[in-house]
Amino acid sequence: MTAAPTPAAPARPASPVLPGDPGPDAGAIARLVAVALDEDLGAAPGRDVTTQSTVDRAARGGADVVAREAGAVAGLVVVPVVLDQVADRLGLPHADVVWHVADGAVVDAGAVLATVTGPTHVLLVAERTLLNLVSRASGVATHTHRWTRALAGTGAQVLDTRKTTPGLRALEKYAVRCGGGTNKRMGLYDVAMVKDNHVVAAGSVASAVRAVRERHPDVAVQVEVDRPEQADEALDAGADFLLLDNMPTDVLAATVARVRAREAATGHVDLEATGNLTLERAREVALTGVDFLSVGALTHSSPILDVALDLDPRSVVAPDAGELRARP
């Protein structure tokens, strides 16, 4: 009798970046990590008084980055950046990383996300900064993943907002993409969003839209409306995208129908439901026909995902103990 073939082990990803995604801006991540390390170590090069007192500088070791709870993973892209910056500060060789999953993976509790080997000083000094960033990003991705599951099959997508942690926008918006969500705009520079205060300042929706078109003809213009008749005004002004703010479901559905009825003349206008949205309402809101649900809580209220760095005591080798032993 022929034995059944042993299933092949899943291929390890060559890169931690979300497949098909450019990843977060590298410059932004490098700056973020440098600031985070300054917070933990003091001004560069800084110091870790515990590790540098108790661990031989020449010791080497290995450790696993482990998810302590189930969720969607994000932020693994920061791991080599943190390790490299720590190594450079300490004047030690860079650590090596083996990826077991990539950003965007949905994992169970106990999953090993990556294995790192290198100078033990580098691993321990980098530990908290590395985990803070991966845990934060994975929390955002996990929260976003819940919304994408709630919206599955409706045709609507969940959007983030600018309600991000200062300094972490590139990472948090990348984490939203890792959870299956969509980025609305990166900042005030890439999309015009006419809100109530802009209308007050400009005198009317039409005046505000016209002013943006004259000064920045290359950007999309979004207009926030909270009543159906305001949608007509925004469409008449030439808005590309409407934010339907804090509308009850029946009013939202009527406004969507009102806008869609004009699309033979206006072309497709993207519609976003925003304000007072919850996971419990998500599907009901999506089924009104909106294109997007905008959820600031993805980035301002997501709890972290618990991620740990487990140093393998069998792998730690002091300089007089020979070569680093292979782990079983």
Please give the positions annotated as active site. Answer: 128, 163, 195, 224, 245
Residue 182 is given by DSSP the state B
Which residues 6+ apart lie within 8 Å of 99 measured at CB?
12, 13, 14, 15, 16, 76, 113, 114
Which uninterrupted H or E stretch holds 12? none
d(CA 191, CA 241): 10
Cβ proximity of 77 and 24 under 8 Å = yes
- Give the whole-angstrom CA distance, residue 56 versus residue 318: 7
Distances (CA, A) of 300 to 78, 162, 211, 276, 294: 20, 9, 31, 14, 13
